[in-house]
Structure 1
Amino acid sequence: MAYRILIIAPSWIGDCVMTQPLLNRLKHRQADTTIDVYAANWSKAVFSRMPEVHEVLTNPFGHGVLKLGLRYREGRALAKRHYDEVVVLPGSLKSALVPFFARIKIRTGFLGESRRGLLNNIHELDEVALPLMVERYAKLAQAPAETLKRPVSHPHLDIDVAQQHATLAALGLTQQAAVVFCPGAEYGPAKRWPSQHYAALAKRFIQDGKQIWLIGSNKDHEVAEEIKQLSGGQCINLCGKTQIDQAIDLIATAGLVVCNDSGLMHVAAAVGTPLVSVFGSSSPDHTPPLSDKAKILSLNLDCSPCFERICPLGHTHCLTQLWPDRVYDAAQTLLTSVTIAR
């Protein structure tokens, strides 16, 4: 009989990508293991790229929503699936309620927010011993008292070439190793490299004969449109025009991605596209792009990382003083090293 595991997924696209090494470890921990994921609807595009996942079940709860009665009913419905173990990745009390109501025998996760009793296979988080998010997730495949088995593999998303071609055709694009910019950052403006810098960088790549695709959500459309206008209208603004699965396909076809610290940064790393990532208010010490083809740029100012959504000093020098020429040079060095490695 298969050993059935349910994963309570995190809420951010980058965090979802970083679960893949954990799922791989759980899949190979013992023979005949089936893994289902309980996740927001949008994240199915990410988890469908992971061969370890058998089924993605829709988590109907928005961020911060309690709805205790509905959680109880969800738990009782999940009980009929007879899971042997659940791994709860978010740290909130709310995320542990449904597995508890489902009476899943082994309920694994970090101690988190008042979760004693809700979880019974509890890990104590040592942030010094486990500095990376991907390591913290991977540790949950082991017994609480064990030291993490290293190395932890980089996250990987599968790519289907036929699906890539279908995405390109649907959007009227030609496959020519375009340069992709991901100018958005859901967390806030203190993580967004300035539009004028993206525009100046676009001009450099356009001079090199490259096509620029701007990719992100509908929330990023206005910023992307500004970049397009500042660069002379030569960029293709796709923000808000793609589904997440299409964005993954486009990033995988690209010759290079330049982005802020964002979920799409982790997607680019996981599909193996050469990547230059710009860090401002956040730090690569916890959630860096995990790829041998990634280059991280940060000015490491005394005031950063502050982890604020908006610069508390009002200037965002950590990003405004990171000049486009430096990003362009880093990209050229990266692309040369990737070519040599091939």
Structure 2
Amino acid sequence: MKNPQPKLLLVRLSSIGDIVLTTPVLRCLKTQFPQFELHYLTKVQFAGIVTPNPYVSRVHIWQNNARQTAAVLASENFDYVIDLHHNLRTLGLKTALRVPSHSFNKINIEKWLMVRFKWNLLPNKHIVDRYLETVSFLGVKNDGCGLDFFISPDDEVQIPDMFPQIGRQPFIALAVGAAHATKKLPLKKLLTVCELIKQPLILLGGREDAETGEQIARRFSRQVVNACGQLRLGQSASVIKQAAKVISPDTGLMHIAAAFNKPIMSIWGNTIPQFGMYPYLPANTQNPFTLAEVKGLPCRPCSKIGYETCPQKHFRCMEMINENDIADWANAI
């Protein structure tokens, strides 16, 4: 490498969980090669996830298209582009920037074969390890320290002040939302889980989950606090950091919980952990995660991402989840 202080652009445009899953790449690059200057490119709505990261010198925002983005970035004179998104948009960016690049393997063919024919040719490898393979040409090694999530001081939550009903009691953080409906536990299942759990719960999610959270909180007013739609992402992360345990579907909050090495109940619907997106914990963790999933369904996985409704109309991948298993895990504090 000719430049004694190489400048690298890491690219991951979305979304919350995927960006959190790239954090070991940032940490390993910077701690193992302090001379590297790391820049990060993402969409504007996700920039706040990366901005507090001390390993990143500068966060850049994706513009309307690859050409406009490349025009903004051209003056940075990057030595390498590390493409951790790897789609047509980032291909256009790399072509326009005309600098050496390395892209991670999305294993789209293997995922398609698993979804379409249920042929399991998926590698037994987490996506974090595939991200790290993208920078192995630089000599980067996995440090085994798991994920990172850095909370800005303005987002630190004082639980007794914000949620006086909880006070200083141990509580469970329950993520009720997800990017796709087929990743969410149905409302009636959530109600049963909340009824069975003996500990106080704080419900987390976005504005789109506020009504679901309100329905649950009205039913269990003394035990359940609805924070859906009321917190910024960093504040939700602060709540998760202070929780005794975290219950979450396959969503960004699950990966944030893994970044804080929390005990996690990970709930899976139409997608499967074998895609390599299960909780990624430090090598020395004392808090192994627990999976809740319905194995053996001939229709699962029906997508590598998710749907707004079950394509088969029965939604057995979530309807058959055992609420008692989730509650028993939560109550074992």
| TM-score of the two chains, using structure 1 as the length reference | 0.79
Q: Does the CA-based 8 Å contact 2:102-2:134 persist in structure 1?
A: yes
> Residues of 1 paired with 2:30 and 2:173: CA distance?
33
How far does residue 166 in structure 1 lie from its aligned partner after superposition? 5.5
Deviations 1:7-66 (A, max 9, x none): 1114111111110111223224534111111112232332245332222222234xxxxx
Q: Does 1:44 align with 2:44?
A: no
What corresponds to 2:156 in structure 1? 164
> Residues of 2 paired with 1:57 and 1:175: CA distance?
39
**1:225 aligns to what SS in structure 2?**
helix
What corresponds to 1:117 in structure 2? none
What corresponds to 1:258 in structure 2? 247
**1:90 aligns to what SS in structure 2?**
coil
Given candidates 152, 172, 175, the residue that maps to 1:182 is: 175
Q: Does the CA-based 8 Å contact 1:168-1:250 persist in structure 2?
A: no
Higher relative contact order (CA 8 A, sep 6+): 2
| Structural mapping, 1:315-326, within 5 Å | 315-326=314-325
What corresponds to 1:120 in structure 2? none
How far does residue 169 in structure 1 lie from its aligned partner after superposition? 4.3
Report the aligned-residue RMSD: 2.9
| Structural mapping, 1:196-211, within 5 Å | 196-205=188-197, 208=198, 210-211=199-200
Given candidates 28, 34, 59, the residue that maps to 2:37 is: 34
Q: Does the CA-based 8 Å contact 1:75-1:100 persist in structure 2?
A: no
Given candidates 74, 77, 80, the residue that maps to 2:72 is: 77
Deviations 1:232-264 (A, max 9, x none): 575221111111111111111111111111111
| Structural mapping, 1:1-342, within 5 Å | 1-61=4-64, 67=65, 71-103=66-98, 105-110=99-104, 128-129=122-123, 131-143=125-137, 153-158=145-150, 164-165=156-157, 169=161, 174-187=167-180, 189-205=181-197, 208=198, 210-231=199-220, 234-285=223-274, 286-291=276-281, 292=285, 293=287, 294-303=289-298, 304-307=300-303, 308-309=306-307, 310-333=309-332, 335=333
How far does residue 171 in structure 1 lie from its aligned partner after superposition? 6.8
Q: Does the CA-based 8 Å contact 1:277-1:295 persist in structure 2?
A: yes
Q: Does the CA-based 8 Å contact 1:183-1:192 persist in structure 2?
A: yes
Letter in 2 for 1:305: P
After TM superposition, the structure 1 stretch with the greater mean CA deviation from structure 2, 298-307 or 243-252, is: 298-307
**Structure 1: segments with no counterpart, 5+ residues:** 62-66, 114-126, 336-342
| TM-score of the two chains, using structure 2 as the length reference | 0.81
Letter in 2 for 1:5: L
Structure 1 vs Structure 2: percent identity of aligned residues? 22
| Inter-CA distance 245–171: structure 2 relative to 1 (3 Å threshold) | farther
Deviations 1:159-181 (A, max 9, x none): 57885246874676745332111
